[in-house]
Chain A
Amino acid sequence: MFKRDIESDFLRFLRSSAANVERLSDGVRQALNVATGIEEVVRTALRAKRDVVIAGTAGSGKTHLLRTLTGEDLTGYRVIPDLAAHPQYEWSRVFDGTQPAIVAGNEGAFLQGASAGFERYSQIVAILHATQRGEVFEDPSAPVVIDVAAFDPAGSRVLRQMVRVEMLANYVKETKSDEERIAWDMLSDDLVVGRLESLVDTASTSGKGEGFTFRQLWKFVGELVGGNPSKFWFEKLHTEEGEVASRIAQVFFPNSFCFPHIGNHMWHGDMAYLRGKFLPAAEPLLEMLVSQIQDRAYGADERNNTFDRLRLLALFGLKVSPLDDHWRFSTDLWANVRQLQVRPLIESLNRYLSYGLIDLGDELELWCQHDSERKTQKPKVLMSMGRVASKEFSIVRSRVFNNLDPSKTSLVGCRYVLRHLASAANVVITKDLLDAITKPRSFKTDDRLGVEYDWRVLRFVMQVASNAATPDKLRVIEFDFLKRSANTYAWQISAERIRRVAS
């Protein structure tokens, strides 16, 4: 039974513009608890009596994680729920070795401790940075660091657990109309909820590709279950105002999907044909909408509106939906990066840096751009200080925890980093960077936005070149921007002479 005292707390949480776990009652928090695997990492560290640091941005779930731990878990531990709120004069004593500590806090607070000269905090910051770069750190005497912000709830498919929370189901059952309840029940089907998860996952990579926090996802769930009562959840998912819905709107265009075999049947309300095409979970809503389509008293506008709802229902409720192919056959660069494929990324970087004028293959050219003046156009001649094969790089995902046996869990973070293995040079790969490098690079200095992405890439190239440049081979590329062409030359350099070789 849905309890009234919990209900008001729960509703406040769902409707709040900044849903805040700190203000939740224990009852609601327990009810909303979603297993992520991080809890087990913390318990493993606690059993080993290690110092534990839980870092993360606001809304990433630090407080919630701490509160999932029982008194038994924390026996003998010094617990600091928020380092920033802890008196600074006591910071030096937090990790004094007299008692193991578990400390949660914004990353900024740990950096502040490091700046103040506390050695332990500097070490924590170093581990945190390694975690974000996807590097393994091992020192049993140092704290186990958990970067909750790196956990990607959207990519880790926890949304299905969230929409299926019992309290939510009870809430819908007791407070929503039959139509809304029937629509919500569709989410009990794995295929339907899987499509919703894929959509949210794709949206999480739009913009700067930094993923969503638990808080944002809960707000999204609140919007789906609440909001405009005349709309179904699949109509609200890209029209509400929250961060998740806004980013879905950037990647989800319902009108772009075709229904070549069932479009006519939907328009004419051919229920006999449609029934076998839809999942059983979607059939009740299908019947309801089809009956409206069949209603001859319906005006043209109403019929069009209902048809639009049917199309949306079909996207999520069909046994075989065009949404599935949309993701399965997506071959864009971001999809490649998410599959940790280095080669397409290197090819794109090469193509971008050479203004798309020449195909340079899948070995990263180490371009040296050393002009210092702001001219109207960029230099026509670039020199490459060497080439590095794709296999010398890897795309790694950031880690969620560090300094604990990584075999304990398969948790991975939401950030992607391109790393040169020999030099450990790395560059964070975000969706906006990929959007920039898949467009043509401008040879005009006035195109300033591109200049900033150029710098992110060229800084990485410089770091790689510092390690991988070879003194005996020089490759030169000469661009003709007007003719859209390029020539390459290669030189063999020795102490006695320079000799042209095949490029």
Chain B
Amino acid sequence: MSTKLRSIEVLRLANECLVGQYPDRVVPTFVFHQFAAPLFEPDGDLVHLISTLAFNPNWCACKSRKIAQIIPSVANDQAALVSTMQGLLNPDRRLFLANATKTATVGSSNTFPLIAGLIIRGGADEGLGRRCFRVLKHFHPDSLQILINLLSPEEAFDPVTALALTLSGDQRRFVEQDWCNRTNEESTEFTEFDKNCADFLKNLISSIGHAGRIYAIRDLEIGLQFIGLLQMTSGFVARCSGTIPNIFVYGGMPPGPANDMRVRFSSSSFSEWISGIWRSIGERLKAVIESYPSLPNEAPAKVFFQQLRIALVNQKTRDKDLRVLLEAVSGFLDEQDDDWTIFDLLEDALNFPPSELARRVRALGQSIGFTAPDRGEGSVRLVLDTPLLNVLIRGAIGNSTMNFEDFISSVSRRFGLVIGPGSDDSVMASFNGQPDAGVYELLLLNQDSLQERLLRAGFARAYSDSHTEVLPHSLS
């Protein structure tokens, strides 16, 4: 395994939310499972059986007498059942067979988290779900009880939930009774940004019994990935510096034409944003490492090396990873004069230049339509695809309505996502010195594009020449 793969061990000394080398494996379903897992005690065998119904009902019937009684035995009907279960449990195709022959059962993968009995600890989320859980538990612990109610319905009011309950039985037995005490975390300092994230998630969690619960779960999946990404980026900067960095988000239809001024502006804003986060990671890493003790009267490079070793050991890094990392750092330090910086270390020894951070952000955002373009060499920018817009509105305004300009300002103030001037054009200050077209006009144009999209998708209603109201689900 190369240093590049292991460098996350060092990087997480600075930013615990940073995802590793394979960010495209981190998807909303996985984040949701990890987020909800502390609340439930899964029956692994049962989850495995139900998941396998999406591929091989016959095997499931052989393994479980109860399942055999529930599902049809005719081959034709079983083929129909496979399609049905694929639709029910696997809308994002995140359920995989365990081996290449595709004759066996499912491997370590996650179903759509329709009910508590399907929640398992598994699926790589690189700690984003756990982080969201901690933030929510700190600010809104009551919401977790609502989440339990959402995922463990006593009765089904729609056929999708009914089918899942028939297969899985009573859901209350999967609830971790002592979840509140068992999930006590070490003391962590939370920021205003974290509170904004917690408020956002709280708005997405509701105790719905009817068919709307399926959409609530889907929206929460998207919302968790969104908040997880923000925790890794702007949230990290907020923790380091106390201020939320602003980034311009393209408000038109993603991905947007490459020669559009707003697209170019959003790309340059993205680069600046990434550079800022990267610098913060470097500075934070330096500060964390230097906070560890070292032997006196040593050369600076040696002191740093000793401190890094202690920090990694303290973080319980596996021996073989530790050995490779220290070798790489040692090699780097040997090649340098004393004028090296932490940023040189990030780029050369840990293979983590700003572009590597951008790659991770792009991959994480891509699955929920938060970054564009999907593929290719085009300049990366933040966008808001329609499903994410729906979630952003629900998370930002809850069940009330909100003036469109206030909504724009609220998203900017709480998360640093600048779409337009909104009702308070103080965001302008953060974009001084940007391109020629006039930043204000650019922001206004961008805001108008988003407004048009909201109206088209039924997320907002225009009331007069100058007044648009953003609507939650129930009022649209």
Q: Does B21 contact A (CB under 8 A)?
A: no
A498 touches B92 (CB 8 A): no
Interface residues of A in 379-432 (CB under 8 A from B): 379-383, 385-386, 427-428, 432
Q: Does B390 contact A (CB under 8 A)?
A: yes
Residue of B at shortest CB range from A129? B475
One digit per residue, 1 when the CB lies within 8 angstroms of any chain B CB and 0 when it does not, for chain A 445-478 equals: 0001101111110011011011101111110101
Stretch in contact with the other chain, from A74-82, A91-99, A366-374: A366-374
Query: Which residues of chain A are near B374, meaning CB under 8 Å?
Result: 374
Q: Interface on chain A toward B: helix, strand, loop, or mixed SS?
A: mixed
A497 touches B162 (CB 8 A): no
Q: How far is the CB of A178 from chain B (nearest CB, A)?
A: 41
Known A-B contacts A58-B465, A470-B159; the reply to A493 vs B166 at CB < 8 A is yes
Q: Does B160 contact A (CB under 8 A)?
A: yes
B83 touches A371 (CB 8 A): no
Q: Does A491 contact B (CB under 8 A)?
A: yes
Contact pick for B254, options A373, A448, A474, A491, CB 8 Å: A448
Q: Does B218 contact A (CB under 8 A)?
A: yes
Q: Does A332 contact B (CB under 8 A)?
A: no
Q: Does B29 contact A (CB under 8 A)?
A: yes
Q: Does A3 contact B (CB under 8 A)?
A: no
Query: Which residues of chain A are near B157, meaning CB under 8 Å?
Result: 469, 471
B211 touches A428 (CB 8 A): no
Contact pick for A499, options B72, B83, B218, B222, CB 8 Å: B72
Query: Which residues of chain B are near A90, meaning CB under 8 Å?
Result: none
Query: Which residues of chain B are near A386, meaning CB under 8 Å?
Result: 158-159
Known A-B contacts A107-B464, A462-B215, A469-B210; the reply to A372 vs B28 at CB < 8 A is yes
Q: Cα distance A491–B71 when bound, in Å?
A: 11
Interface residues of A in 115-131 (CB under 8 A from B): 115, 129
A374 touches B91 (CB 8 A): no
Contact pick for A476, options B84, B369, B466, B476, CB 8 Å: B84
Q: Cα distance A386–B211 when bound, in Å?
A: 10
B112 touches A107 (CB 8 A): no
Q: How far is the CB of B259 from chain A (nearest CB, A)?
A: 18
Q: Cα distance A462–B457 when bound, in Å?
A: 14
Q: Cα distance A372–B369 when bound, in Å?
A: 10
Q: How large is the interface on B (under 10, 10 to 19, 20 to 34, 35 or more residues)?
A: 35 or more
Q: Cα distance A441–B456 when bound, in Å?
A: 16
Query: Which residues of chain B are near A383, meaning CB under 8 Å?
Result: 84, 87-88, 159-160
Contact pick for A491, options B159, B467, B476, CB 8 Å: B159
Interface residues of B in 205-229 (CB under 8 A from A): 208, 210-212, 214-215, 217-218, 221-222, 225
Known A-B contacts A366-B211, A368-B211, A471-B156; the reply to A476 vs B87 at CB < 8 A is yes
B87 touches A379 (CB 8 A): yes
Q: Does A326 contact B (CB under 8 A)?
A: no
Q: Does A4 contact B (CB under 8 A)?
A: no
A462 touches B368 (CB 8 A): no
Residue of A at shortest CB range from B70? A497
Q: How far is the CB of A132 from chain B (nearest CB, A)?
A: 8
Q: Does B366 contact A (CB under 8 A)?
A: yes
Q: Does A261 contact B (CB under 8 A)?
A: no
Q: How far is the CB of A251 from chain B (nearest CB, A)?
A: 21
Q: Does B56 contact A (CB under 8 A)?
A: no
Query: Which residues of chain B are near A428, meaning CB under 8 Å?
Result: 458
Contact pick for A372, options B210, B387, B463, B474, CB 8 Å: B387
Residue of B at shortest CB range from A470? B159
Q: Cα distance A264–B163 when bound, in Å?
A: 71
Query: Which residues of chain B are near A465, meaning CB under 8 Å?
Result: 158, 210-212
A106 touches B473 (CB 8 A): no
Q: Does B194 contact A (CB under 8 A)?
A: no
Q: Cα distance A373–B386 when bound, in Å?
A: 12
Query: Which residues of chain B are near A129, meaning CB under 8 Å?
Result: 475
Contact pick for B456, options A56, A371, A432, A459, CB 8 Å: A432
Q: How far is the CB of A494 from chain B (nearest CB, A)?
A: 7
Q: Does B69 contact A (CB under 8 A)?
A: yes
Query: Which residues of chain A are near B93, meaning CB under 8 Å?
Result: 375
- Could you list which residues of chain B lie within 8 angstroms of chain A, going by C-beta atoms? 27-29, 69-72, 74, 77, 80-81, 83-84, 86-88, 91-94, 112, 156-163, 165-166, 208, 210-212, 214-215, 217-218, 221-222, 225, 253-254, 366-369, 374, 385-387, 390, 403, 453, 456-459, 463-467, 469, 473-476
- Could you list which residues of chain A lie within 8 angstroms of chain B, going by C-beta atoms? 56-58, 106-108, 111, 115, 129, 149, 366, 368-375, 379-383, 385-386, 427-428, 432, 448-449, 451-456, 459-460, 462-463, 465-467, 469-474, 476, 478, 487, 489, 491, 493-500
For the complex of A and B, the 9 pairs showing the least CB-CB separation, nearest first, are: A108-B467, A381-B87, A456-B458, A474-B159, A371-B91, A469-B158, A107-B463, A469-B211, A471-B162
Known interface pairs A149-B464, A496-B70; 20 further A-B residue pairs with C-beta atoms within 8 A, sorted by A's residue number: A115-B403, A372-B28, A372-B92, A373-B29, A375-B93, A379-B91, A381-B83, A428-B458, A448-B254, A454-B386, A456-B458, A456-B476, A466-B210, A469-B158, A469-B159, A474-B162, A478-B87, A491-B159, A495-B166, A500-B72
